[in-house]
Amino acid sequence: MLHRSQQILFNHSVGEGYYLIGFSCAKMAEHAKPGQFLMLRMNDQAWEGKLSRPFSISNVKDDIIEIVFETVGKSTHNLAGAEKGKEVNVIGPLGNGFRVEKDADIHVLVAGGIGIAPFPYLATQILQECPESKVIALLGVRSMSRLLLTKFFEECDIELKVSSDDGSVGHHGLVTELLSEELNVLDEKEAAVYACGPDPMLKAVAAITVGMDTPCQVSMEEIMACGVGACLGCARKVREGDGWTYKMVCKDGPVFDAKDVIFDED
């Protein structure tokens, strides 16, 4: 884990309410793994409060780390307006990321909205470690205007299927319906699923994959104050042995095996 003050290299819109920001830090880039995250805050009074915010590492290119984020509050709106050269305070890389399932023939990435953020880096890693396997990305959005990062998947020749709540693009329905369709037509091929998005989506993904005995990892979203497990604010119930225990999303996750996570009302 490193603590640095870095200058923003670029910051631009990649969709309605979504931004891509990048900065250079060779040490962080060297140690970063897909699925890990950074705690970030701006070094000025425009930042709301004094606490950093967690952001998934979206991609790493040489010594440049990229973050994709959604504007949802005062702090992220201010970050969206930060110009090149502005300094940000960064801690990371943090948490435990995805592991590439090397025995899989097909790797299915399932994202809900901004849950697609960590998948460019993961997809790149899968293609490097498993060049003979296929990667499919499934993205669920509210509407066509909320699509993001589609160009990355096109450039990497990764099949992308989209669902939308309002039917304005792709399948009219849930992204988990696309997942069920994909897994049902795999025949004898071995699949691995990686998912990131809101809890209801992850719960449905877990139910589908556990029921089909398909390896699945889920990246959990939680409010985090510290990012290192000290504040205990991001505790989640996780199965352990014949019972369960609490684990910290920031320290023990954010990526967990889907079969281990206890979702609400389980």
For the stretch 220-237, pLDDT in tens is 998 888 888 888 889 999
CA gap 104, 134 in Å, rounded: 9
Q: Would you state the pLDDT for residue 266?
A: 47
Q: Where are the alpha helices (DSSP H) in the chain?
A: 26-31, 74-80, 119-129, 150-155, 175-184, 199-211
Indicate the pTM of the whole model: 0.95
pLDDT band at 189; cut points 50, 70, 90: confident
CA gap 251, 247 in Å, rounded: 8
Least confident of 50-54, 102-106, 126-130, 161-165: 50-54
Average pLDDT over residues 1-17: 91
Q: Determine the length of the chain.
A: 266
Written as one letter, the residue type at 256 is F
CB 20 within 8 A of CB 58: yes
DSSP 47: S
pLDDT above 90 covers a percentage of the chain that reads 83
CB 32 within 8 A of CB 113: no
CA gap 266, 236 in Å, rounded: 13
pLDDT tens profile 136-174: 999 999 999 999 999 999 999 999 999 999 999 999 999
Q: Does the pLDDT at position 1 exceed 80?
A: no
CA gap 99, 185 in Å, rounded: 24
Q: Would you state the pLDDT for residue 45?
A: 58
Backbone angles phi, psi at 14, to 5 degrees: -125, 15
Strands (E), the chain: 2-15, 18-24, 37-42, 53-56, 59-61, 64-70, 87-94, 106-112, 134-141, 159-164, 171-172, 191-196, 216-219, 235-240, 243-248, 255-257
Written as one letter, the residue type at 238 is V
Least confident of 37-46, 65-74, 88-97, 113-122: 37-46
CATH of domain 106-222: 3.40.50.80
Tell me the CA end-to-end span of the chain in Å, nearest whole number.
34
Q: Would you state the pLDDT for residue 223?
A: 86
Written as one letter, the residue type at 75 is S
Q: Where are the domains of the chain?
A: 2-94, 106-222
pLDDT tens profile 22-59: 999 999 999 999 999 999 988 775 566 678 899 999 99
Q: Does the pLDDT at position 74 exceed 90?
A: no
Q: Does the pLDDT at position 115 exceed 90?
A: yes
Q: Does the pLDDT at position 186 exceed 60?
A: yes
Fold (CATH) for 2-94? Elongation Factor Tu (Ef-tu); domain 3 (2.40.30)
Q: Dig out the tokens for 166 from the structure.
A: 């309002």
CA gap 79, 67 in Å, rounded: 11
The CA angle 201-205-206, to the nearest 5 degrees, is 115
Q: Dig out the tokens for 152 from the structure.
A: 């990355």
